Amino acid sequence: MSEPASISSGIAARYAAAVFDLAKESNALKALEADSDALASALASSADLKAMIASPVISREDQARAIGALAAKMNLSELLANTLQLMASKRRLFVLPQMVADLAARIAAEKGEVTAEVTSAAALSADQAKKLAATLKARVGKDVKLKIAVDESLIGGLVVKLGSTMIDTSVKAKLAALQNAMKEVG
């Protein structure tokens, strides 16, 4: 990890730990989970929001006003809204994506959950996702939350990343393995 990335993740981890601990003390983890999920989807879907939190040109006051308006519009809890205001005043909004990811990991650990990143060639039906989650739960012994993406270049099958384990049953991977085997023979 590069030094600036390490510094950013350290800052994000401290904010996430503080927010998580305060939410846990006040029995507000469920609200914090909903808020962090909403914030994560807002960050994923809004290029303007990403640009605003990362821009050194936008003043602290303008960032604070913008993030305050966003928090009000999204009905974020007072705890998270105040944290965002503090981050804006300290010019730390650039670590928001890492902080949201860290919060999600802390909440999942608290709930005894793990997240599996699933990439499939075609969109999974609700029944398929449910069966996959049940299979993974049987394997790891914890509830599994699926983060599903579609990549048509896989041709068929799935790629499942669960912690440090990766299961690749995609046709693309099988074709690549076959191609490598053929190179070794010829």
Q: For residue 80, what is the domain's CATH number?
A: 1.10.520.20
Boundary of a domain, candidates 60, 90, 109: 109
Domain count, the chain: 2
Asked if 81 and 137 sit in the same domain, the reply is: no
**Same domain as 151, residue 75:** no
Here the tokens at position 82 are 């105040």
Regarding whether 154 and 136 lie in a shared domain, the answer is yes
* 52 and 138 belong to one structural domain: no
Domain that holds residue 169: 113-185
Residues 121 and 105 placed together within one structural domain of the fold: no
Task: Tell me the H-state helices in 26-95.
Answer: 29-45, 47-54, 60-73, 78-89
pLDDT digit of tens for each residue in the chain (186 aa)?
A: 556 677 888 999 999 999 999 999 999 999 999 999 999 999 999 999 999 999 999 999 999 999 999 999 999 999 999 999 999 999 999 999 999 999 999 999 899 899 899 999 999 999 999 999 999 999 998 999 899 999 999 999 999 999 889 999 999 999 999 999 899 886
28 shares its domain with 100:
yes
CB neighbour list of residue 63: distance below 8 Å, 6 or more residues apart: 52, 53, 88, 91, 93
Distance (Å, whole) CA 63 – CA 173: 45
